[in-house]
């Protein structure tokens, strides 16, 4: 039994008092039919859909939404991670469309107005690492690199790369918003040589005539160097010394050092050390805060671009936000890693009011889930926060169960037994530490070739299914307040209590997670439970995740203890039977987002 008094939200989330929830408003295959070129509104665009959904999301406790990267992409159907023009939010006719996939600039404006009325803040998914789909080619010096982008595998040569960005749609309107046209000098890497018709990682360099030729050490036995690098990555015992850096243009050095240097990720890699690049991106951050109504950013792929640039950029957007909103912007970085030190390294450099997604915690959910799936004796709920950001820096941890990258079929797909998702959501939503993020696909289901139904569903007693997720979100909003005491004394069942807060009438709860058998049994139907000191003698508690007809009373005895049961492979949340707000549960919620 452990008492916990960690801060409940990232320091810049500003939702500490009302137990805020961040909601990701899309999944990878979210359908959207934006307005055609000469129109500004569509009933089937995703922005229009979100506009209709926001009131219902606010009702279950959503206080902030994460919008997709709504800048002009490579194609009309691009999700936005294939970013072409940051300054085009669905306003200019370029890349074969005026709108972006998600909708038009006008629809975005309406969405922001609705969010403001509902008391919901919006953060923008900012893709600052790369661009794609240049308008014209340009000759530039480059060296072809190995697949990690670290070792040179051919002599310098000129390639023909799609690195001229003229933005003709904005150009026709006088380069509205930004006058910068991007050229090869604004990048340090790309992935396609038009002349050679070859896909590879090309590191862009300055004219070799300006600098001495690479030393013999650098151009030595590449096979040995490459093998050592692979051995270091997979055996994690030693790493070959990196070859001497070529003078002049190079990869950023203040990035994650996985694979030696992790600057290059994909497409045309932005050189954040270039003064024009830096200024344009600074201006863009200011413009987004001042012109759209957003209050923060989700930064995509932060381990792949300069940490020091990110520090400077974050400080600038905080300054703008303070002037406009009287508070810092909300800034959260995405780093996919199971090694928490890689996340804290980024946080230590950026330092100023930034938080990060807790990917190690998500991987812990997956690990325990897979142990359960395989029937492993190693399945242990007590290890749920081991080596996670939540464990060491709960005040900057944004917790999540799934997102668009980890859903089935995606690049970072992370296996997770569907039956366990309700446990993980109960954990992130009802704990004092961390700031929970709920995924569109778990609330509404996903589309695409590996579509999945909404998560956390159970029989509704009427022959259908109902979702526990809206109810867990409501439990956070209504009851999950006050001092936290943990009961993590069994591998298969853990629990914690929240004492409640005087300014939240009826608040306080007992939460249990179970993945199977435990020493204490209630009946043969795979139930477990715990004796827990909570409340006052004579108090009655009920599990609000069950429908009213199935709620059994738990009575607190004269010693102040009650036995709280939980079915195997499920979560239970007990609330005082006479608590204010209990009548709202189970919460009616329409899981068909596409019917509205």
Answer for the pair 266, 411: CB distance below 8 angstroms, yes or no. Answer: no
For 23-83, give the secondary structure using H, E and C: EECCCCCCCCCCCCCCCCCCCCCHHHHHHHHHHHHHHCCCCEEEECCCCEECCCCCCCCCE
Strands 330-333, 121-126: pairing is: unpaired
Selecting among 300, 328, 358, 380, the annotated active-site residue is 300
Active-site annotation holds for 334: yes
Residue with tokens 């970072």: 412
Answer for the pair 338, 361: CB distance below 8 angstroms, yes or no. Answer: no
H helices within 167-244, ranges in order? 168-171, 222-235
Answer for the pair 482, 500: CB distance below 8 angstroms, yes or no. Answer: yes
> DSSP for 526-590?
TEEEEEEE-S-TT-EEEETTS-GGGPPPEE--TTSEEEEEEETTEEEEEEETT-TTGGG-SPP--
Answer for the pair 446, 525: CB distance below 8 angstroms, yes or no. Answer: no
* Alpha-carbon distances of 451 from 153, 292, 555, rounded to whole Å: 41, 33, 43
The residue length of the chain stands at 596
Selecting among 88, 334, 380, 543, the annotated active-site residue is 334
In whole angstroms, what is the distance from residue 73 CA to residue 88 CA? 9
Answer for the pair 26, 403: CB distance below 8 angstroms, yes or no. Answer: no
10 Å CB burial of residue 48 (0-12, 13-18, 19+) is buried
Active-site annotation holds for 107: no
* Alpha-carbon distances of 454 from 54, 438, 457, rounded to whole Å: 18, 12, 7
Active site amino acids: 300, 334
């Amino acid at each position: 039994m452990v008492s916990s008094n960690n801060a409940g939200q990232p320091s810049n989330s500003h939702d500490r008092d009302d137990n805020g929830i961040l909601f990701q408003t899309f999944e990878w295959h979210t359908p959207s039919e934006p307005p055609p070129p000469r129109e500004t509104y569509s009933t089937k665009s995703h922005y229009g859909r979100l506009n209709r959904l926001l009131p219902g999301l606010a009702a279950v406790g959503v206080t902030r939404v994460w919008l997709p990267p709504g800048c002009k992409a490579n194609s009309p159907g691009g999700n936005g991670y294939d970013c072409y023009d940051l300054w085009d939010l669905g306003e200019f006719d370029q890349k074969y469309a005026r709108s972006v996939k998600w909708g038009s600039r006008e629809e975005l404006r309406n969405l922001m107005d609705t969010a403001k009325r509902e008391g919901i803040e919006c953060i923008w998914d900012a893709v600052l690492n790369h661009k794609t789909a240049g308008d014209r080619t340009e000759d530039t010096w480059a060296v072809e690199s190995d697949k990690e982008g670290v070792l040179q595998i051919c002599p310098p040569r000129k390639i023909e790369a799609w690195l001229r960005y003229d933005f003709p749609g904005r150009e026709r309107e006088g380069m509205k918003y930004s006058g910068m046209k991007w050229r090869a000098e604004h990048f340090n890497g790309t992935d396609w040589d038009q002349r050679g018709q070859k896909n590879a990682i090309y590191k862009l360099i300055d004219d070799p005539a300006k600098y001495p030729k690479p030393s013999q050490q650098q151009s030595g036995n590449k096979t040995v160097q490459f093998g050592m690098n692979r051995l270091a990555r997979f055996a994690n015992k030693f790493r070959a010394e990196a070859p001497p850096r070529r003078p002049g243009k190079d990869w950023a050095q203040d990035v994650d050092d996985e694979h030696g240097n992790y600057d290059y990720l994909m497409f045309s890699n932005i050189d954040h050390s270039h003064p024009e690049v830096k200024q344009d991106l600074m201006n863009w951050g200011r413009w987004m805060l001042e012109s759209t109504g957003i209050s923060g950013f989700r930064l995509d792929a932060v381990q792949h671009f300069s940490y020091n640039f990110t520090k400077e950029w974050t400080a600038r957007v905080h300054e703008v936000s303070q002037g406009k909103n009287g508070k810092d912007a909300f800034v959260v970085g995405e780093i996919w890693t199971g090694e928490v030190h890689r996340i804290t390294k980024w946080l230590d450099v950026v330092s100023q009011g930034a938080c990060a997604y807790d990917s190690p915690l998500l991987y812990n959910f997956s690990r325990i889930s897979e142990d359960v799936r395989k029937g492993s004796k190693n399945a242990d709920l007590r290890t749920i926060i081991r080596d996670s950001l939540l464990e060491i820096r709960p005040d900057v941890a944004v917790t999540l169960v799934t997102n668009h990258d980890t859903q089935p079929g995606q690049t970072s797909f992370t296996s997770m037994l569907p039956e366990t998702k309700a446990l993980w959501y109960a954990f992130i939503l009802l704990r004092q530490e961390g700031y929970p993020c709920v995924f569109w696909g778990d609330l509404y289901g996903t589309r695409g070739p590996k579509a999945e139904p909404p998560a956390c569903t159970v029989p509704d007693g009427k022959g259908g299914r109902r979702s526990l997720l809206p109810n867990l979100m409501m439990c956070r909003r209504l009851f999950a307040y006050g001092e936290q005491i943990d009961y993590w004394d069994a591998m298969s069942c853990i629990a914690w209590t929240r004492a409640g807060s005087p300014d939240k009438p009826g608040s306080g709860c007992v939460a249990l997670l179970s993945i199977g058998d435990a020493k204490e049994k209630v009946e043969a139907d795979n139930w477990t439970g715990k004796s827990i000191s909570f409340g006052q003698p004579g108090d009655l508690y009920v599990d609000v995740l069950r429908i009213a007809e199935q709620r059994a009373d738990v009575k607190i005895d004269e010693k102040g203890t009650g036995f709280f049961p939980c079915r195997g492979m499920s979560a239970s949340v007990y609330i005082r039977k006479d608590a204010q707000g209990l009548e709202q549960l189970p919460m009616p919620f329409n899981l068909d987002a596409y019917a509205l």
